[in-house]
Structure 1
Amino acid sequence: MLVSGKDTSGASAAENEQRFVGKSIDVPKANSHAKRMPTAPANLFLEGNFAPLRHEFNLAKTRQFEIRGKVPRDLNGSFYRNGPNPQFEPGPFYHWFLGDGMLHAFHLQRGEVSYLNRYVATPTLELERRAGRNLFLGQRTNMLANLQLVGGNLISLISGLIRDKNADAYTRLIAKANTSVLAFREELFALVESSPPIRLQPTTLASEGFEKFDAGFMAPFTAHPKTDPQTGYLYAFGYRVAGGPRLEYYVINPHGKLVSRTAVETDYAAMIHDFAITRNYAVVPVFPAVTSLASIRRGRIAEWQPEKGASVIVMNKDGDTASLRRFELPVGYVYHYANAYEDGKAIVVDAIRYERVPLMGSDTEIRAELFEQANNGYLTRFRIDLASGKTETQVLHSEHYAEFPVIDPRLVGEKYEHSFAASASGNNSSAAGIFDGQVSYELSRGKVKADIHDFPRGHFGGEPIFVPTGKPGERKGYLLNLIYSTEDNRSYLAVFDVAKPDKKPLCEIWLPHRVPYGFHGTWRQHRN
C-alpha cells in the first residue's frame, strides 16, 4: 500500500524547510517509528505509543483502510484529534505536554473514509526546521536568552515586557498547538493554553496562522473554550506564567470578533487548564498547581503547592467585573470539566478531580500515577451556593480512574444526564497505555449509573467523542474513540452505538500505522 508523506526524523535543514510535497512512500516496515529515539534518555513520553510519529500520511480512498464492520452512512463529518509529536529529538527534560502539535483527521461521508495527519505549522516548528534541530523542548535553557528562537521578535518581546509587563509576544514563539482542536463557526483551530489559536483549513489541515479574532489578539488562550449552544458565543480565558494580568477572560461573538476582555487577578500564578459555563455564569476554579518560567525550564509546567489553597471565581458570562465573586474550594486538582449548570441559587459543576496535580513529578512518580493507580481522578460534583457562599464536594463515581469527560455539545451549560469518559481498570500493569476502556455515566435524581466498556486486552484509547443523532439529551448517536493495539502496533477509529456502550464497536477503521497517544478531539458535522 502506498501513502503520501515524508519522514523528517533524519532530514537535513534544507529538506525540513520544505512543506511535505506529497511524494508516495511505503508504509514504514515493522513500524520502526514506534521505538524510542536512539539517543533519548529513559523517558516515559518517548517510549512505545507515546513516542512521536514522524510521517505525514494521506489515505484518500476507503480501500486503503482495513475496515471491520460497516461504517454508518449517517455519520457524515470529520473526526479530529490533536496531540504532542516532537519533530526532532527533544532534550533530557522533555515532558508530554511540550511536543509539537500534530492533527489527525478522519473524514467520513456516506460510508466512505479518508484520513490525513499534519504537523501544525507554528513559528517554533518552522524555526526548528530551518535549524534542523530542537531549540526548545526539555533543554533547561533560559528561554528569553535563546536568540535563535526569539530572532526578529526580540524588539517586540522587550517592548511588551516594558509596556505590558508580560511576555505575550513570546507566547507566539512557543506555540506548540498540541492540546485540543476547536470547530467554531466554519473554521477549525489548533489550541494550546500558552498561545493564541492557530487556524487550520478543515479538509487539508493546512495551517493558516494565528487567529486574531478581528481585534489584533495576541495572548494565552485556553485549550478548552466553551461554545454556548443557545447563542453561538465563544467563551475562553488565558493565564500567564509571568507578568500580568495573571488571568484574562474573553468573549467572542458568533461572527468571530473578540468583544470583551476582562482582567482577573489571582492569588498566585496557577496552571488553569479548563473552566465551565452555565446559562448565566462563567466558573473558573483555581487550584494550587503553581506555574513559573523556572518550573517550565525544569520540564514541568507547574509545581504542587497545596499550602496556597484553592478557590473558584464566578462572574457573569459577559465578563462584568462587578459581578465577580470568589468561593473557597477544598485543595485538589482538576484538568477537565464535564459540564456545569444552574440549580436554583446554586451552580453545579461536574469534573474529574485529583487529590493533587498529576503528571508534574519525576518520571518514576508519573509512571506510578498512570500505571499503578497512585493518584486517580474520579468523577466529582462541586456545588456552589451563591446565596450562602458555601461549597460542597461529592465524589459521584470511583470504581475506575476516569479522564477526558465529554457530553452532548448541545447541552453545554444546561442540566444534563449523560457523560462519557476514558477509563482505566488498573488491570494493565505495563506501561503500554493508560485507558483500557471507556465509561458512560447516567446522572439523574442525584444517582449515578456507570456502564464501563473494557477494550480488548492490549488496546488503549483516549477521549471519546459523542456524535448525537437524536434530540438534545437523548442517548442516541455514536461514540468515537481512537484506539491503539499493542499487538498490531496500529491504531483504529472505533465507532460505537452510544445506546449500547458495553457492546463491540459497530465498525473499526484501521490505519496502516499507529497514532501516538494524544489529548483532545472534536467532531465537525458536514453540511449536506
Structure 2
Amino acid sequence: MGKRFDEAPFGIDHGPYLTGAYAPVFDEKVLENLEVEGEIPADLNGVYLRNGPDQRFEPKAMHHPFDGDGMLFNAHFDNGKVTIRNKWVRTEGWQKEDQSGGSEYWGIMSSLKESQTQPMKDTANTDVIGHAGVAVATWYLAGEPYLVDPITLETLGPAPYTAAPGYGFSAHPKVDEVSEELLYFDYFHEAPHMAYGVVGPDKQLKHHVEIPLPGNRLPHDMAITEHYSILHDLPVWHCEEAYAAGRHKILFNADTPARFGVIPRYGKTEELKWFEFSPCFLYHVVNSWEEGDEIVMVACRFMPVINEDGAIDEARTAKNIAELRMDARLWEYRMNLATGEGKEKCLNPDLNVEFPSFDSSRTGRFTQWGYLVDHDPDTLHWTGIRKFNTTTGECVGSWTDDPIHAWYNEPWFAPADNPESEDHGYVVTFVWNDLTKEQQLQIFDARDISKGPIARVKMPIRVPQGFHACWMAANRIGNAA
C-alpha cells in the first residue's frame, strides 16, 4: 500500500494507537542481504520472534493496542547471516475479515469477549513463546493460542491442547525448556474464575485443575519453578456494572491484597497454597526459582498512584493499568512453603522498567541476570534497555540510541552456541527512531550492553510498536510441517 512511516492510515478518529510509531504496516515481507553496520556473530544461531498488533482494516470504534491483528516479525540467524520476515497470524477472526474485506469485530474499549451483539476479535497479538519445536502466539484476554512455524511464520492452526477441558489460554504461559512442558492458566468471568494446566512436549494436555477465586479477576502473568507453578490473584477485576452493559472496564481495589498461589506442577486444587502481599498489579514476571523451602519470584510491580493524602488513587491506578501507562519497579517476593510466611521488597526504587527477559533455557531456575526496557511511561514507549542483577537489583549496564525518539522492542537474551557463563551471549531487539525514520535490528554483547550494539541491521520497513518477544535457539526449532 505504500503508506508513509509517519502517517495515520485510518485518520485520527480512532485514537492515538494507529498513528506514528503505532501505525500499522500492510505488507508481508522477506528481507535478505540487508546492510549491516558491524558484524553479526557466527555463534548466534536461532530465531528472535516478536509479536504485536497490526490493524489490517479501519476499526469500528476507538482502538486499543490489544485490538490489532497479531503480526509476527522474526529475525532468523544462521552462521553470521540474518533473514527478517513479518506475517499476520491467520486467526479465525483474521480469516473472516480477509473474506469480507473489512472490520467485522469491535474492540476492548467498546465490547466484551463474550458479546454476541458486538463481538470482540481474538487477535493472538500479545505474546509468542517457543514450545515443542514451534512458536505459540497468544492473546491478552485468555484467547485461543495459535501454532506458527518459527522460521516461515506460516500459521499452522489453533493449538490442540485447550479444547479439552480448558476454556482458553492466558497471554503468558511458561515453558520449562528442560522438560519441554508448557504451563498455563486461564481466567474467565464465571466461577471458579481460573484454571491451570500442563501441556507435554507432545503438544497434548497432561493435567488440568480448577483454581477457585473469590470473584472475577484479570491476571496477566504467572511464574514457574522446577517443581511448582505460581498463579496470581490480584485486586484488578471487571466493573460489574459496565460488564452488565456489555463493556470492558477494570477496577483496582486497594483494600484487597495481592495473592500468589503456589501449586505443585501436577498438583491438585486442594494442594494450592496462597500467600498475601501488599495490593498491586503485576503485568510481568522476570523469573522464579526455589531456594530451600522458599519460592522466589522477581517481577515488575505496577506502582499504584498515590494521592496527596498518601492513599491509593484507585481510579487513576485502574486507568493507568488499562492504558498500559506503566510505572513499575523491580520487586522480589518470597513465599516460604514450610512456614506460610511471605516477604516482599523493592529491588530498585529508582528505575521504571518493564517487559523483562532472561536466559529462557533457565526458566524456573535461578537466573542472576535480567534484561528490561526503560519505560517512558507513555504507552509502549520504551526508550532504552538495561541489564539487572536479579538478586541485588543493581543496574549493571544500559543503552539507548536516543532517550526521546528511540522506540525499543522487548529485548531477548540469546545464548552463544557454547556459552561459558549465564550472560555469555547476545541481546536482540528491534529499534525504531521516530525522528530519523530509521528501523534497525540491533544486537548487543550481553556481557557489556553499555558499549552499544555490536551489529545494526538496517531495515527498509518499520516494525510497529508492539508487545512481547522470545528467543528460540536453533536446537529447539523442530519440523513444523
TM-score, reference length from structure 2: 0.87
Partner of residue 275, structure 1: 222
- Unpaired runs of at least 5, structure 1: 1-6, 8-27, 150-172
Partner of residue 127, structure 2: 180
Partner of residue 453, structure 1: 399
Matches within 5 A, 1:316-335: 316-335=264-283
Residue 450 of structure 2 aligns to a residue in which SS? Answer: coil
Partner of residue 140, structure 1: 110
Q: Which has the higher contact order (CA 8 A, sep 6+)?
A: 2
Alpha-carbon distance between aligned partners in 2 of 1:315 and 1:116, rounded to the nearest angstrom: 39
CA distance change for structure 1 residues 449 and 58 in 2, over 3 Å: closer, same or farther?
closer
CA distance change for structure 1 residues 480 and 196 in 2, over 3 Å: closer, same or farther?
same
Maintained 8 Å contact 2:70/2:125: yes
The amino acid of 2:106's aligned partner reads L
Alpha-carbon distance between aligned partners in 2 of 1:80 and 1:295, rounded to the nearest angstrom: 35
Q: Deviations over 1:140-163 (max 9, x none)?
A: 3577664696xxxxxxxxxxxxxx
Structure number with larger C-alpha Rg: 1
Count, aligned residues: 463
Maintained 8 Å contact 1:34/1:53: no
Partner of residue 92, structure 1: 61
Asked if 1:382 is matched to 2:315, the reply is no
Deviation at 1:454, TM superposition (A): 2.5
Which of the pair is proportionally richer in helix? 1
Partner of residue 356, structure 1: 304
Partner of residue 312, structure 1: 260
The amino acid of 1:526's aligned partner reads A
Residue 57 of structure 2 aligns to a residue in which SS? Answer: coil
Asked if 1:77 is matched to 2:46, the reply is yes
Deviation at 1:319, TM superposition (A): 2.8
Maintained 8 Å contact 2:115/2:246: no
Alpha-carbon distance between aligned partners in 1 of 2:411 and 2:381, rounded to the nearest angstrom: 14
Partner of residue 410, structure 1: 361
The amino acid of 2:343's aligned partner reads E
Q: Deviations over 1:186-229 (max 9, x none)?
A: 12221114212111122221112111139656622122211223
Alpha-carbon distance between aligned partners in 1 of 2:115 and 2:422, rounded to the nearest angstrom: 54
Asked if 1:255 is matched to 2:195, the reply is no
The amino acid of 1:87's aligned partner reads R
Alpha-carbon distance between aligned partners in 2 of 1:103 and 1:135, rounded to the nearest angstrom: 22
Q: Deviations over 1:324-382 (max 9, x none)?
A: 1112121011110011112222211100001239xx989x9659987xxx851010001
Partner of residue 21, structure 1: none
Maintained 8 Å contact 2:398/2:450: yes
Alpha-carbon distance between aligned partners in 1 of 2:385 and 2:68, rounded to the nearest angstrom: 26
Asked if 1:235 is matched to 2:183, the reply is yes
Alpha-carbon distance between aligned partners in 1 of 2:66 and 2:267, rounded to the nearest angstrom: 29
CA distance change for structure 1 residues 145 and 483 in 2, over 3 Å: closer, same or farther?
closer
Q: Deviations over 1:249-277 (max 9, x none)?
A: 01111222111111111112111111111
TM-score, reference length from structure 1: 0.80
Maintained 8 Å contact 1:421/1:463: yes
Partner of residue 394, structure 1: 345
Deviation at 1:495, TM superposition (A): 0.3
Q: Deviations over 1:419-476 (max 9, x none)?
A: 11111377xxxx69721111101244x5634322223352220211001125485221
% same residue = 26
- Unpaired runs of at least 5, structure 2: 306-313
Asked if 1:519 is matched to 2:467, the reply is yes
CA distance change for structure 1 residues 433 and 223 in 2, over 3 Å: closer, same or farther?
closer
Q: Deviations over 1:372-408 (max 9, x none)?
A: xx85101000111223322222110133210111111
Partner of residue 15, structure 1: none
The amino acid of 1:422's aligned partner reads V
Deviates more, 1:389-398 or 1:260-269: 389-398
Kindly report the root-mean-square deviation, in angstroms, between the aligned alpha carbons of the 2 structures. Answer: 3.0
Residue 502 of structure 1 aligns to a residue in which SS? Answer: helix
